Structure 1
Amino acid sequence: MYLVVIGWMYVVLMMSVAEATNTNGTVLGAIVTFFLYGLLPVALVVYLMRTPQRRKAIKAREAAELRQAQASLDPDAGSHAPGAAEAGGIAPVRKEP
């Protein structure tokens, strides 16, 4: 996609140079040509082409935030089994009074 953008910007730059160096052309006309044929359409096309990527990134960020919120609310969401002791993974046995 970016190769087409670079190619089109090159063509527009050459159109602008031709406009500026022509005997009937002006520098103002070259600037207008560069913006109206180059920057504005290319910016619009790139923005529209990247819309699916932006949506995917937003959904991934929202899913990560949701997982983080759910993990902070669930007390047993840790990676250890409930009641497991630090040494050996065996729960300590208590004597009855």
Structure 2
Amino acid sequence: MHLVVIAWLYVAVMMAVAEATHANGSVLGAIVTFVLYGLLPMGIVGYILATPARRKARRAREAAEAAQAAAPASAAPDSVAPDQGGEAPADAAVAPVRKED
């Protein structure tokens, strides 16, 4: 695929050079020729031909995300829950002391 794109762009460059160096040609015409005969068609062809690779990468990414979501919580690294700070838990039988206002 890459060889075809490179060859076509070479042909488009040669067409642009011929347009620019012709007696009735111009640099603007050469730029338009290169864009319309070279970059635009090869961009479309490259996009279409790369579709299977993009689809494969998307499916692999989705499978990795699904595997990560389906992994059990025990497989996660040990972490401290936000409510489990450095203090020991209070005795359930003793009511907390509050200040009087």
* SS across alignment from 1:24: coil
Q: Under a length normalisation based on structure 1, what TM-score does the superposition of the two structures give? A: 0.74
**Corresponding residue for residue 26 of structure 1:** 26
**Corresponding residue for residue 44 of structure 1:** 44
The equivalences for 1:4-83 within 5 A come to: 4-73=4-73, 75=74
Mapped to 2, the partners of 1:68 and 1:28 lie a distance apart of 54
Identity of aligned residues (%): 64
CA RMSD of aligned residues (A): 1.5
Deviation string, structure 1 residues 26-72 (Cα, Å, up to 9, x no partner): 11110000000000000000000001110111011000110011014
State the number of aligned residues.
76
Structure 1: runs of 5 or more not aligned: 79-97
Mapped to 1, the partners of 2:64 and 2:13 lie a distance apart of 43
Residue type of the alignment partner of 2:68:
Q
* SS across alignment from 2:71: helix
Structure 1 runs of 4+ with >6 Å offset:
none
